[in-house]
Structure 1
Amino acid sequence: MFTSNTQRTALLLVGAALLLMAAVCSLLLGYTHISAATLISAIGHFDPSNTDHLILSTERLSRTLIALCVGASLAVSGALMQTLTRNALASPGILGINAGAMFFLVAASTLFSLSAPLLLVWSAFLGAGTAAAAVVLLGGGAKGLSPSRIVLAGVAISALFVSFAQGLLIVNQERLESILFWLGGSVSGRGTETLLPLLPFFLLAGLTCVLLARQLNLLALSDELATGLGQRILMIKILAATAVIMLAGASVSIAGLIGFLGLIVPHMVRALLGPDHRWLLPGCALLGATLLMAADVVSRLVIAPQEIPVGVMTALLGTPFFLYLARKRSYTA
């Protein structure tokens, strides 16, 4: 673990450099390989008649930006949830928040024929909030949230909402392709016009995280300590939970179900930078975005010219890590 601020700053700069490298690879690699010279040419002198320039502007750029926003958001929301629940296995995917957002979004699209991006986003927020409330109710007890019960409740809620969404495949065959997109998880097929309405939510949630970083450090220790130091615990938890819902809901609305990123990244960053949220949260944003971009690039190349949904790639990475954490820690009801 790096303990000095100088070391942590240097590590974040390394993370930023890796993110830049992943972004360049995301722009260049795929079914059509594009040279670095072509990329530089497109930035300096865009030519709409050039096929490679069009691919960069219409497909690769939006795909890269979506992976950046979604990867950072899922990783940060996972760190927030682990702090709020004091549970190492907490993440939007494990506790069903992503599944709730996905089901409400699919239901709005198929049952009510909603197509406006903002309406779908608000549907995803409602689903994420509903799932979070259900998990808290089912996972709570006389002594508060139980680590084992909250994980079991999250898995049950996630399975329930995913099953409901799959049921819509039978009810509404016309929307089959779009539903499969949300179930599999993908950062492709969405333009920058889809991302732009979501940017205010990503930015607002990010600003909330920055403002709450110090309070979250106290909250991670104990409610009693934070209260004794004059912190308004309920307000901090509400704001942090709202940030989680915005980050997870917006991510699902544009990329579907991408699991395990919110679980594994906070642990990796915490091992390097420590538990201080002033360093943990930006580290999670950098590493989460980098990992999702890298997973997306691999998903394009592994069985080219076909693509594997990026949600499958993150599951392949995250499932062994989840099993490792579950075996390493003992949970009691």
Structure 2
Amino acid sequence: MVMTKNNWLATMILVISPLFIVLAIIVSISYGAKDISPFTIWEALTQFNGNNVDHTIITTARLPRVIAALLVGAFLAVSGAVMQGMTRNYLASPSIMGVNDGSAFVITLATVFIPGLSNVQMILLSMVGSAIGAGLVFGFGSLVKNGLSPVRLAIIGTVIGTFLSSIAQAIAMYFQVSQTISVWYNAKLQTVNPDLLLVSIPFGIVGLLLALLIAKSVTIASLGEDVALGLGLRTKWVKAISILSVICLTGTAVALVGKIAFVGLVIPHITRFIVGVDYRLIIPCSAVIGAVFLAFCDIFSRFINYPFETPVGVVTAMIGIPFFLYLIKTKGGGRHG
């Protein structure tokens, strides 16, 4: 294959990304309410001492936190990229199209009515919620005139997401579990469960592999339904696999840390600007850029109101909301491709 400019840029991103990931891990572990030296970090990872408080903080809190941030950033970014490619909608993302809200809603119901769920059951129910949320949004969109246009679908997604969140909050207040439920609506990177983190990795990997499997097909689908059919694309199968990928990725992310908005909206656009419109490049590059992006957003969130923690969702919203408005203004609600 001829090395084009886009291929070269994508290769550079994938080659240098491990350096940024390592940097994010070191900085994230080092800084917080208590600063920890690089030597102590190395000692904790190579010669762990359970009686050393710093070692315990590193292995049970800060290392799981940064790994979760990296994974969730990758999951949400790839999920958004797949959604944007398949729907040809510049505004498509898990947070806008009801996928995140559906997951959080079902997790709320499970917490109230089926307490004591295992980690695997929690992830599976979160995936079910992702499917329900997306189904409601696209279902209502198909019933409204021009409801599947980018801006109208975003409005429908916002309305349904708000409705699901309100119902969940009302149920939580009635059953007096608001404090427990709040962590799903305010990303809980600082209290990530290491056991849940380990269990979530295989589910996320399945979602990523599915996305990579259909990357070429997503590129063709992004050209439009008629063109895709003319090129012999089996659109129903590709849509089914893409939906499964989005459900796996978003459901796992929400189950792990709760709702985080705008990662799936912003990162695919940045990646597309850098590497072009080939989803064989967009999907892997979105994964690494999304991972690094969320990890550094989490680091930044610790210093906005130091020594108190600011939810990482506040940082992503500070970036995502202006970006969202910019897309509406410049794209005019039109489809891409």
Do they fold alike, i.e. is TM over 0.5? yes
User: Is the aligned partner of 1:156 residue 2:183?
Assistant: no
User: Is the aligned partner of 1:98 residue 2:131?
Assistant: no
**265, 282, 285: which one pairs with 2:284?**
282
* Alpha-carbon contact 2:6-2:275 (below 8 Å) kept: no
Secondary structure at 1:47's aligned position in 2? coil
Which residue matches 2:109? 107
Which residue matches 2:328? 326
Partner deviation per Cα, 1:54-85 (whole Å, 9 max, x = no partner) = 11111011111111111100011011111121
Hey, what's the Cα distance between the residues in 2 that align with 1:145 and 1:84?
13
Partner deviation per Cα, 1:18-75 (whole Å, 9 max, x = no partner) = 2221121111111111111111222222222221111111101111111111110001
**206, 231, 234: which one pairs with 1:232?**
234
Hey, what's the Cα distance between the residues in 2 that align with 1:16 and 1:220?
30
Q: How does 1:27-176 map to 2 (within 5 A)?
A: 27-140=29-142, 145-173=148-176, 175-176=177-178
Instruction: Report how many residues are paired.
Output: 331
Secondary structure at 1:301's aligned position in 2? coil
Q: Which runs of 4+ in 1 moved over 4 A?
A: 141-144
Runs (5+) with no aligned partner, structure 1:
none
Which residue matches 1:183? 185
Which residue matches 2:7? 5
Hey, what's the Cα distance between the residues in 1 that align with 2:259 and 2:146?
32
Hey, what's the Cα distance between the residues in 2 that align with 1:195 and 1:210?
22
Hey, what's the Cα distance between the residues in 2 that align with 1:143 and 1:215?
25
* Alpha-carbon contact 2:7-2:275 (below 8 Å) kept: no
Hey, what's the Cα distance between the residues in 2 that align with 1:98 and 1:170?
21
Secondary structure at 2:206's aligned position in 1? helix
* Alpha-carbon contact 2:112-2:172 (below 8 Å) kept: no
How far 1:6 sits from its partner (Å)? 2.8
Partner deviation per Cα, 1:97-118 (whole Å, 9 max, x = no partner) = 1011101101110133243222
**207, 212, 215: which one pairs with 1:213?**
215
When residues 144 and 158 of structure 1 are mapped into structure 2, their CA distance, relative to the original with a 3 A threshold, is closer
How far 1:283 sits from its partner (Å)? 1.1
* Alpha-carbon contact 2:302-2:310 (below 8 Å) kept: yes
Hey, what's the Cα distance between the residues in 1 that align with 2:116 and 2:334?
43
How far 1:243 sits from its partner (Å)? 0.5
How far 1:282 sits from its partner (Å)? 1.1
* Alpha-carbon contact 1:3-1:274 (below 8 Å) kept: no
Which residue matches 1:242? 244
How far 1:12 sits from its partner (Å)? 2.4
Partner deviation per Cα, 1:160-183 (whole Å, 9 max, x = no partner) = 11111221232122x222211111
Hey, what's the Cα distance between the residues in 1 that align with 2:97 and 2:37?
42
Q: How does 1:10-21 map to 2 (within 5 A)?
A: 10-21=12-23
How far 1:259 sits from its partner (Å)? 0.4
Secondary structure at 2:214's aligned position in 1? helix
Partner deviation per Cα, 1:142-170 (whole Å, 9 max, x = no partner) = 88832233222111111111111221232
Hey, what's the Cα distance between the residues in 2 that align with 1:247 and 1:103?
17
Hey, what's the Cα distance between the residues in 2 that align with 1:277 and 1:92?
18
How far 1:275 sits from its partner (Å)? 1.4
Runs (5+) with no aligned partner, structure 2:
none
Amino acid at match of 1:193: D
Higher deviation after alignment, 105-114 or 158-167: 105-114
Secondary structure at 1:140's aligned position in 2? helix
Secondary structure at 1:312's aligned position in 2? helix
Which residue matches 2:297? 295
Which residue matches 2:205? 203
Partner deviation per Cα, 1:108-132 (whole Å, 9 max, x = no partner) = 1013324322222122111110111
When residues 226 and 143 of structure 1 are mapped into structure 2, their CA distance, relative to the original with a 3 A threshold, is farther
Which residue matches 2:253? 251
Hey, what's the Cα distance between the residues in 2 that align with 1:264 and 1:244?
16
Higher deviation after alignment, 321-330 or 69-78: 321-330
Hey, what's the Cα distance between the residues in 2 that align with 1:324 and 1:143?
22
Amino acid at match of 1:140: S
Secondary structure at 2:189's aligned position in 1? coil
Amino acid at match of 2:98: G
TM-score normalised according to structure 2 size: 0.93
* Alpha-carbon contact 1:19-1:287 (below 8 Å) kept: no
